[in-house]
Amino acid sequence: MVQLDLLVKLIISGRVQGVFFRRFVNIEANKLGISGFVRNLYSGGVEVQAFHHDRSTLEKFVNKCRQGSFGSNITNIKQDWINVKDKEFLFSEFKIERTI
């Protein structure tokens, strides 16, 4: 049986830019050993892609994102959970990427 890892893609809406939200997400991901990235979107939201082998760890991370940084106000989180075959899709670290 092939072991599946998980990727969760988040689009987070609300007051999430200019409030150190990306830095907050980066810190929380590193605490949990999650790899992936966070970046601002020109639409005003934030995109997160987070990769880990344990769903409960990713769920904790999503809950942290829902809480947000000081000064942020999360109004919506769109979640897309994807099963990923071992070694097919890997991030080596969690980083803050440039705005798209």
Q: Which residues are catalytic?
A: 22, 40
Residue among 13, 31, 30, 9 nearest 68 (CA): 13
- Give the ranges where 21-54 is alpha helix by DSSP (H): 21-32
Question: Under a CB-based contact definition with an 8 Å cutoff, are residues 56 and 17 in contact?
Answer: no
